[in-house]
Each structure stands twice: as structure tokens, then as C-alpha cells.
Structure 1
Amino acid sequence: MVAAHAPADGEALLDWNESPIGPPALAAKRVIDAAGRLHRYPRGLMEEVTELAAAHVGVAPDRILLTAGVDEAVDIALSLVERGWGTRPGFDGYEDRIRANGKRFHPIALGPDWQPASPPDQGLGEGDMVFLAQPGNPTGNLLPAAWIDAVRAKAQYVFIDETYHEFSTRPSVLHAARDEAPDGAVDKGLLVYRSFSKAAGLAGIRLGCLIGESTVIERLEPVRRFMPIDAVSLNAAAGLLEEPEFMVRLTAHVLEARTALCETLRGSGLFAEVRETETNFVLAKPWEWASAPMSRQFDRDLVRVKDCAAVGLAGWLRISVGSWDDQARLGASLGRVAK
């Protein structure tokens, strides 16, 4: 069930990766200020944003590689290995990119509770990279830390996608890795991805960073395309990273509004189950009798939701945490269905 497209910007409720509180002020200012320089290459911006990103995540700049979104990060990382692994249900982009790069994909089955159904496969070893989103996508939940540790002990590389980390209750795997190696050593087999476009709800840009041990990043840098990130995205990211309080404010809103959104959905009586996730969206499973009338009403009211059937969660909807006005509109739409 996906609502109809809005005829004009701003009329529909937010999609799941858009900011419910607007863009960072400094990001918008930097983009506007840079408009008069779009005829020039963004010289020095990659280095500036790399420094800012390194400070933001708490690592040295030589451990950061900026990428044009997670797809490019996955493509680059795959140059290190022969095979890729990922969970099912899970983010289908990993499997798509693994296959597009001519590598073999191995699924890791999740059970009905969206947790691993068995210990890590005995086939894991040299030449393997396991892709895990934490929190998960589309499940929005966390895999057991002990299970992830077991995977890291077997696979040559583990790629942890922390796109939704800011909205999660679990510390970053980067913090855990530092605690595990107080002597300063860094796990060469661990790659971590962070998305600035998702963390700040800047859905209009494609920018993130791949974090790893410095010699691994040095090996990956030549694989990256020449100037893969445009000047607009770089300026937006620089402004965002110069305004850290924005992400604090966005996170605080999402955490408060996420709980309220779940209460609204449960209170409507239209859903058999509602799951409060560790991300900026929630998952809800409508009663069978409510699904069709809800879809029609959402179309009329320009309420955007995502049908999760295509990503392995048949019957579930992904609903974004929006502004308070957005969520009031959603509640009103649900009320019209329930009448």
C-alpha cells in the first residue's frame, strides 16, 4: 500500500527518510552561498567534509572515505572480497549491489521475530563480507550483539550499516571496537557506514562515509570514482556537520514522536500489530479487513506509507515519524477509516 503521489511539493506526509523539522539552517545557507560557484569544481570540499565527518564520528581523518550514498560504499567495499552475505528479510540494496558486481550472494535467514534463525554459517571465512544494517532495514530492530561478534570472528570482513544509528538505543559498533582494543589497535575486518543524508533527514542529497582501519581505507580510496559527490551535497554536509545541535534536535523529536506515532496507530484499532523500531519509522500490520479501505483513504488524504511486501515483510507498512502536524493529519485519516 503506497499512497498516491502529491500533485505539489509539501502536500503529502513525509517519506521515511525526510526530516520532520526541515533542513539544518547552516546546510541551507552553505548551499545558497555556493550557488554562485557551481561553475567551478568543489576543490577542497572533499577534504573539508572528511575532516568534519572524522570529528563527528570520533576517528582520525585517514579512517574516513566519503561516498555518494551506501550503494557506492557497498560497491567499493566489495572490491576486497569474492562473496557477499546479507540477511533476509533485509535491505535489498546489498543483494542488488553484490550481484551487480558479479559476486555471489549468500542469504542469512531471519526468523519470524526478525532475528537470526541459526548461528553464523560454517561456510563463512576468507573472501567473505557480511552486510548488516544496525538498526535493521526494513525491520528497524537490532541483531544480538553476541551474534554479530560471532559473525565478525568468522568472516574476513563485516560491513555494519549504521544509517539509522542516531535513532537507536545501542552504542555504535565503533565505540565497542575502541573498548575491545584499548591499545589503539583497529579491527581491519570491520567497515562501518554512516549516512549524513539519513541522519539529518536530507533526503535530497546522497552522501555518507565509510569508516575502517587506515590501511584498508587507503586500499579502497583508488576504487572510488573521481569526484563522486557534487558540490551541493558537499556544502550541505559541511553545513550540517558545523551545526551538530541540529542532529541532536532531530533525534530528540524522532524519539518523542515515534512513541506518540505508535500510540496513534494502536489507538486507531486498525492494526493487528505495531512495532516501535530503532529508526525514524515504525512498522504496522493492518487487520485484513482494514487494509483496502485504509489504502483508499490514504490515497485521498495524500498520506504516504510504504508497503513492505517487496522487502520481505508481507502485510506490514512502514510509516515515517513526521512532524506533529503530519502525525495529526495521519491520525485524522485513520479516524475517517475507522468510522
Structure 2
Amino acid sequence: MFKLNDIIRPNVLKMKPYSSARDEFKGSANVFLDANENNLGSLAGNNYNRYPDPHQKKLKTRIAEVKGVKPGQIFLGNGSDEAIDLLFRMVCRPGQDSMLHLPPTYGMYEVSANLNDVALQTVQLTEDFQVPVEEVLLNVKPTTKIIFICSPNNPTGNLIEQGGIEDILRAFKGLVVIDEAYIDFADARSWTSRLHEFPNLVVLQTFSKAWGMAGLRLGLAFASEELVSVLDKIKPPYNINEATQELALQALEREEALKDMIEEIVQERELLMEALLSMPVVEHVYPSDANFILVKVGNANEVYNYLLDNGIVVRNRSYLPGCEGCIRISVGTLEENQILLKALVEF
């Protein structure tokens, strides 16, 4: 039986959160002299002289409507990287506890673990980039507090099979974090629909990919209200700036435009994959449920440098275990994709 308090660090359970001026003030007022702001205004305009809502109440309410969850099940971070870091701080004792990840996968899990002095446990994905469930569970130790599963996985692009994730959620007594940064491009239901089933489930999403807001840095973590309340307790008080909150609210009113963009990207992905298969330099194109494609080529370093010399930037993933000889290509516009294909033909 999973109990959140059993895995939260004792010092986190005891700590009191920072109380900001906006936390202490309740009700309405016309004169604000509590937060040492510049009351003359802001050189940036738009009332940016005032601190933003530390709890992002309006934004969470709107996101909850779109995602079909409760506002209390949403944590908003400065990118999903902030949520990843805070999850480590919440449950992992530095120098004592460990996490388990499944390479090839998103590199920030490892970076954040190292930063927080959390030991790395590694179980490699299978040849078809799926989770070897039995091996994962055999490697779980009493010190293992978090398992990270990226689905669709970065850099491989594929969804992780649902049944295997279910088995891990049921058997593991720590947090299972499913990173769904690319879920909008996949024909699959989000794990947010199953939060009520698994108290140890955390789902990460982002506004950086499908929503096209990478420059604004807005990440999401969905979990039980109990878990989210702990993340809120340990986050910086004003971690989401006012401009990001305002622009995200505007974006959330344009769901139809989002659907059109996703449809166009998926169509371009399929056309790009088909074209890549006919290239002599391409040895294999991996299936993708994301907005990028993992491609095995004859000489990844050579191809990468050649494309770079021609003003085309892709990602060289050939040094990652299981991705030998591979480059990762983001799906561009029709014009950008044609420029890429032309360069590969001429390689």
C-alpha cells in the first residue's frame, strides 16, 4: 500500500512554506503597500510591477477544464524541469536514496539526480524501446524513490506500452513519473485520466511542444491533491511569472488552432518518415508518436556535421545506448523538411 508520507523526506514533512505577501493578504484592496513593489509602475508596462499570483489560480482553473482534472491536482513549474527537480527534493535524501531511469531517455532525469546527490539506477529499454518490467522491478531497492518513464519517449519517439506501466505502478511503492511532453502528437489517452487509480502516479506535460510556448517556460505536473500540496509547499513563491500566466490563458482559448497545428505536424511527420525511407544514407526510420523522428544513418557524426555545414541543425544521438548511429530530426515546416531532404540526397 502506497502512502505518500512514507517516502517524503522527514525535513520536508516538518518544514513550513515561505509565506509571501500575497499569501497573507485576503480579500480586496485599492492600495498595496505590503510587498515592497515599485508602486509607480513598470517600464515593461501591463502592471508587471506587481508580483504574480503565487498559486496561479485562474490558470489552473482553466487548465483543469481543458485537461479534465481538478485544479488541486495541477502543479505548474518553470518548465517541467522544475517539477522534476522538486520531486527529487521532495522524496530523495541526498547521498542516501536513488532513482531508476530507462535510457535512452530524456537527459534531465540524470542531471537532476546528480545535482541532488541521488544515486542512479539504470535499466536499458529493450531493442524496440519498451520497458523490461521484470528487470525494472528486480532492480528496485529500499532506497529507490522514483522511477521515470518517458512516453512518448525522447529520443526514440515511441509510446511505452500501457500494461507494463500499470504493472510498475501497482508493484512499486515509490513515485512513478510518466513524462508526457509529446503526448499531444500521439494517438493515445493521457495518464492524467487515471490519477484516481494510482496515488503514486505523477504525470508531466508541457506547453513547450504542441502549444508552441517553449520560450515562456511552463511545465505541468499532475498528481494527487496531497502530492501537489507538497510540491506547492517547497516551490519558490513566485515561480510562474505574470506574462507567462497571461499568455497561457490566452493560448488556452485557442484549442481549435492547437488541433489544427497538431494535425499539420503529424501529417508532415508521416510524409517526412516516408521520404526518409527512400534515402540511401538512411538505414532505419523508427516509428514515432511525437513531433520528431529517430533515424539511423550510415555515419551519424558525418551526416550531422554535413547538415550543420549546410545550415541545418539536427540532434546527434549516436552516443546514447541503444541509439548508435542515430540522429534525431524534429518535424519542421513543409519548406524546412524539403531543405533537409534535398541536403540528404546530396550527401
The number of aligned residues is 295
Deviating more after overlay: 294-303 vs 259-268:
294-303
SS in 2 for 1:88: coil
SS in 2 for 1:198: coil
**Which of the numbers 318, 324, 335 marks the counterpart of 1:314?**
324
Task: Tell me the equivalent position of 1:141.
Answer: 158
Give the structure, 1 or 2, with the largest relative contact order (CA under 8 Å, sep 6 or more).
Answer: 1
SS in 2 for 1:273: strand
CA contact (8 A) 1:167 1:280 kept: yes
Greater than 4 Å deviation, 4+ residue runs: none
Alignment of 1:82-121 (within 5 A): 82-117=97-132, 119=134, 120-121=136-137
**Which of the numbers 49, 60, 73 marks the counterpart of 2:70?**
60
SS in 1 for 2:187: coil
Task: Tell me the equivalent position of 1:173.
Answer: 191
Deviating more after overlay: 159-168 vs 68-77:
68-77
Deviations 1:7-63 (A, max 9, x none): xxxxxxxxxxxxxxxxxxxxxxxxxxx853333322478222111211121101011
Q: CA RMSD in A?
A: 2.2
Structure 1 residues 267 and 67, CA, compared in 2 at 3 Å: closer, same or farther? same
How far apart are residue 140 of structure 1 and its match? 1.0
What is the distance in 2 between the residues matched to 1:224 and 1:199?
Answer: 26
2:283 counterpart of 1:272: yes
2:235 counterpart of 1:218: no
Q: Which amino acid aligns with 1:124?
A: V
Structure 1 residues 332 and 42, CA, compared in 2 at 3 Å: closer, same or farther? same
Q: Percent identity?
A: 25
Extract unaligned runs of 5+ from structure 1. Answer: 1-33, 179-184
> Normalization by structure 1: what TM-score?
0.80
> Normalization by structure 2: what TM-score?
0.79
Greater share of helix residues, 1 or 2?
Answer: 1
Deviations 1:254-293 (A, max 9, x none): 11000111122122222011123111000111123x862x
Greater Rg, structure 1 or structure 2?
2
Structure 1 residues 291 and 130, CA, compared in 2 at 3 Å: closer, same or farther? closer
CA contact (8 A) 2:304 2:314 kept: no
Q: Which amino acid aligns with 1:304?
A: V
CA contact (8 A) 1:124 1:154 kept: no
CA contact (8 A) 1:186 1:213 kept: no
2:213 counterpart of 1:202: yes
CA contact (8 A) 2:80 2:206 kept: yes
How far apart are residue 302 of structure 1 and its match? 1.2
SS in 2 for 1:131: strand
Q: Which amino acid aligns with 2:47?
A: R
**Which of the numbers 166, 182, 186 marks the counterpart of 1:164?**
182
SS in 2 for 1:282: strand
Extract unaligned runs of 5+ from structure 2. Answer: 1-43
What is the distance in 2 between the residues matched to 1:141 and 1:93?
Answer: 18
Structure 1 residues 310 and 291, CA, compared in 2 at 3 Å: closer, same or farther? closer
